[in-house]
Amino acid sequence: MQAVNGADKPEEQVAALDKYAQEHADSKFMPCVYEYYTMTYLKLNNYDKVVEYGEKGLASNYKDAMLMLNILKGYVGSGKVADSVFDVINQAPDVIKAESKPTKPSTVSDAEWQKALEENAAQAKDELAYVVYAFLQLIPRVSDPNKRIERLDSFAKTFPEEAQKNAAQINFVYFLAYSNVANKPDKVMEYGEKTIAADPNNLVAHNLLAYDYAVGRTNPDKAVDYAKKAIDLAQQMKKPEGFSDVQFKQEQDNQLGMAHLSLGYATFLRLVAAKSKKLQPAIDELKTAADLLGANPELQGQALYYLGYAYESGAPVNHKAAIEALSKAAGLQCSWRAPADELLAKVKKAANEEE
């Protein structure tokens, strides 16, 4: 420890730790060495090494708040995630609480002890705040939606007050997770609505809900309302830091295009339900969507397919425009290619029979 603390540079501290680890690999103090490795590599911004030695410390059953916080910092900084880090998050409150209330030494006065406890409580509050921050940074990195939901449930149980304080973000992550889980439409709508209730200006939530309500045919009226709000929010978008003008324009067009797609299809459904053949309002929205979604072949193909269908369903029927839209859809690399080809053949046949 004299060699580590006496070193002027982090690199020299690492060298001192390496020397001790090589000469005393079986020492009972190795868990402490792993903790010091994490502290030193944090100074060097070497997050992979922080994680590596943090995991070694955890494997030795060394339960220490500093080690836990350092490994969380390592994962947050590295851009990576692992199952073990969520175990750290769940265990952290008990470890932090225990460390903040140690046994009173007999040599310390009551006044000094009270002051020490107050300082410990303030430190514990800061430490728990970082644990919550780390969770919110790490949970979007969990790719498996079912596992993500599991982690969210566990967090809500372990940190009920913090889950409530961060309801907008927590509900949004739930919403995105359930959106990728089959046969959970009720949960999708539930957490989508909760997200918007907590964050009325969440553009992505408005857009995804509008799409689900429209394409899922569950509620075209709600789809129209959410899509219109999404259009308003997308028009007010501001370029995020680090985005080029081209990147920002593409993202804004994608959000606007998705909103117009949902609005167009929901409008089509409402007109058809009213037994109206005057489908121009839906056609206008779908055309706008197709024009905006050039960077998103999947959604553009969907917009073009619906557009072709609308041209063919209205009065008067517009075979030429339907063929043009469906041909474009059939030429895209997307899941709408085959349906577009199939409908295109039917439209061409109908057009030939009328000539």
For 201, other C-beta atoms within 10 Å of its C-beta total 11
**What value does the mean pLDDT take over residues 343-349?**
95
In this predicted model, what pLDDT tens digit does every residue of 27-40 receive, in sequence order? 999 999 999 999 99
* Burial of 88 from C-beta contacts in 10 A (0-12 / 13-18 / 19+): buried
Query: Which residue intervals of 180-244 are DSSP H helices?
Result: 185-198, 203-215, 220-235
**What value does the mean pLDDT take over residues 219-236?**
96
Binned at pLDDT 50, 70 and 90, residue 184 comes out as: confident
**What value does the mean pLDDT take over residues 193-210?**
95
- Lowest average pLDDT, out of 63-67, 249-253, 296-300, 341-345, goes to 63-67
Distance CA 307, CA 289 (A): 10
Distance CA 237, CA 53 (A): 42
- Lowest average pLDDT, out of 100-104, 193-197, 253-257, 328-332, goes to 100-104
Domain boundaries, the chain: 1-141, 143-194
**108 pLDDT exceeds 90?**
no
Question: How much is the mean pLDDT over the chain?
Answer: 93
Query: SS in 3 state form for 342-353?
Result: HHHHHHHHHHHH
**1 pLDDT exceeds 70?**
yes
Place of tokens 């517009």: 318
**What value does the mean pLDDT take over residues 237-241?**
92
**3 pLDDT exceeds 90?**
no
**What value does the mean pLDDT take over residues 236-244?**
92
**166 pLDDT exceeds 80?**
yes
In this predicted model, what pLDDT tens digit does every residue of 248-291 receive, in sequence order? 999 999 999 999 999 999 999 999 999 999 999 999 999 999 99
- Lowest average pLDDT, out of 7-16, 138-147, 232-241, goes to 7-16
Residue 8: the pLDDT is: 84
DSSP letter assigned to residue 27: -
pTM beyond cutoff 0.85? no
Binned at pLDDT 50, 70 and 90, residue 42 comes out as: very high
Residue 49: the pLDDT is: 96
Sign of the Cα torsion 116, 118, 119, 123 reads: positive
**What value does the mean pLDDT take over residues 333-343?**
96
Distance CA 302, CA 298 (A): 6
**What value does the mean pLDDT take over residues 20-25?**
91
Residue 311: the pLDDT is: 97
Residue 62: the pLDDT is: 82
Distance CA 129, CA 162 (A): 9
Distance CA 307, CA 283 (A): 6
**What value does the mean pLDDT take over residues 142-164?**
94
Angle at 77 between CA 72 and CA 82, to 5 degrees: 55
In this predicted model, what pLDDT tens digit does every residue of 309-332 receive, in sequence order? 999 999 999 999 999 999 999 999
Q: Which amino acid is at 286?
A: L
Residue 5: the pLDDT is: 82
Q: Domain 1-141 carries which CATH code?
A: 1.25.40
44 alpha carbon, distance to own chain's centre: 29
Distance CA 282, CA 279 (A): 6
Binned at pLDDT 50, 70 and 90, residue 63 comes out as: confident
**355 pLDDT exceeds 70?**
no
Please provide the distance, in angstroms rounded to a whole number, between the alpha carbons at the two ends of the chain: 93
For 280, other C-beta atoms within 10 Å of its C-beta total 11
Contact 123, 100 (CB under 8 A): yes
Distance CA 222, CA 53 (A): 51
Q: What tokens were used for 342?
A: 């199939």
**74 pLDDT exceeds 70?**
yes
Residue 216: the pLDDT is: 83
Residue 180: the pLDDT is: 87
